[in-house]
Amino acid sequence: MVEKFDLVVIGSGSGLDVANEAARNGLKVAIIESGPLGGTCLNRGCIPSKMLLHVADLVETMRSSRKFSVNADNISVDFPKIVKEVSAFVDDESDGIEKYLSTAKNPTLFRGIAEFRGHKELMVGNTLIRGGKILIAAGARPKIPDIPGLIEAGYLTSTEALRLSSLPDSLTIIGGGYIAVELAHFFGSIGSKVYLIQRSDRLLTREDEEISRNFTVEFAKKHTVLLSSEPEMITKKGGFYHVKVKSSVEDNNTTIVTKELLIAVGVTPNTDILMPERTGVKLGESGFIIVDEYLETNVKGIFSLGDVIGSYKLKHSANLEAQYSYYNIIDSDNKIPVNYNAIPHAVFTSPQIAGVGLSEQKAKAMKLDFVVGKYRYIDTGMGMALKDESGFVKILIEKTSHKILGCHIMGTDASTLLHEVVVAMNAGNGNLENITGTVHVHPALSEVVLRAGLSAREGLQH
C-alpha cells in the first residue's frame, strides 16, 4: 500500500505546528509519530520536569526559612501524589492531541516508527509513504555511555526518573549538564541523597566559565559532587547500585552505593532509527542532520528542525525553527534564513542559571574588544531582602558600538530577569542604552540587571 502526500512531517513536537499550518494552507499532510503525541518537551522534558522542579523550589524555600527567622519544621512531601498529578496532566495533554489528530481528515496521523527506504519514501508499519516535501523533526533520546556493567545492572534516564512511583533515599547521577543538575535539584530537595559524577572539573561546562565555576561551588554545598571523575564499573547487588569511580586528578578509586542510578550525559539523535541517509540526507559526525540557513538538508525539499539537527536543543528554538521551516516549505522560491539572534536559555536548578549571547570565553576567542559589567544580587534592595548572597549578573558590551554581546545570570529568578536583556538585544540597535536608559522599579530584583549595565557603562568610559 502506497500513500502520497504533499508534505510528510516526522515527529509530533514542534513539527506538529508545521503540519497543522500546512494542512490549513491546503497541503495534503501526513504526520508520523511512534511515541506519545506532543514530543519530548510535553512528555519527558520541559513540561513535567519544570512542574516537578517547582515543588523542589517550594520545599527548598521552606527548608531555608530559618534564615528569615521563620520556622517551617516537619515538612513532608507526598512524592507519589506529586508524580501522579504531573503524569496525569502530561498524559491528558498528549491524549488530547492524539484524539484530535485521529479524527482530523488532514493532517493524517500514522502511528509507528518511520524508516526511510528510498528517495522521499518511508515505511511506517506496512504502509509506504511518499512525500513531495518532508520535514524531519524526529528529535533525540538520552545518550547511553559505554560503561562496563551498565547494561546488565540497568539504569534510569530522565524519561523513567520523571515517573518514579517512590522517592529513592539515594541516587547516583552520571553527568553534569542541565538535565543532570535539574534532576539532582529535584530529588535532592525533596529528600534523596544525591551524588553527581562529572568528568569535567566543573558542572554546566557550556555556560560562561565564571557562571559555571560559581554554580559548581554553590551546588556542591547541597549535593555530593565528584568532579574530574568517571565511572569505571557498575554492578547491582541486593537492590543497590555500586558505582566504582576513578578520579583523573587523584590516584584513587571510590565506590558509591545508592538505590537508584540515573544516566544524564546528553542526547543522541534518532537518525540511527530513521535512516535519512537512505534518501540522500547528509549527517554530521554525531549523527545530527546537517541543514543550511533555511533548515533545508542537502536534498532539495527535505527540511529538518529541533533536537535532531542539534543546534540548540531547546523547545523555544525548535518553535522558532518551526516558523521558518513552514514558510520555507510553503514558498521554497523565497526562503528566509533563520534568525538565531539572542536565543536565551535557562537551567531550572538551585541556584537558577540563565544566559544569552556570547560567553566571555567566546568573545575573547573571537578577539572582540569588550567590557564586562557585573553586579551582585546582595548589593541591591531586593537581593538583600531575598538574602541571595551568591547571585550575580554579568553583561558583555562591545566597546565601540556599545552592542550587548551577551548576558549571564546566576541567582533567584534568573530565567525571568534575563528577558529584559533578550528584548534589549533584539530591539532597536541592541545597545546597552536600551537597559541603562530605562527606569526600573525600586527595589525590584530587576535592578540588579540595570546595575550590571551601569557597571559596564562605567567600564566603557575608561
Residues forming the active site:
442
CA–CA distance, 318 with 312 (Å, rounded to integer)? 8
Cell of 258: 545508592
Amino acid at site 64: S
Bridge pairing between strands 260-263 and 253-258: unpaired
Neighbours of 96 (CB within 10 A): 12
Nearest partner of 297 among 277, 327, 316, judged by Cα: 277
Cell of 249: 586528578
Q: What does residue 391 show for φ and ψ, rounded to 5 degrees?
A: -70, 145
Q: Is residue 225 a contact partner of residue 386, using CB atoms and an 8 Å limit?
A: no
Bridge pairing between strands 392-398 and 404-410: antiparallel
CA–CA distance, 16 with 22 (Å, rounded to integer)? 10
HSE, CB side, 13 Å, CA atoms: give it for residue 196. 32
> In terms of C-beta density within 10 A (0-12 exposed, 13-18 middle, 19 or more buried), how is residue 439 classed?
exposed
Q: Is residue 247 a contact partner of residue 229, using CB atoms and an 8 Å limit?
A: yes
Q: Is residue 281 a contact partner of residue 299, using CB atoms and an 8 Å limit?
A: yes
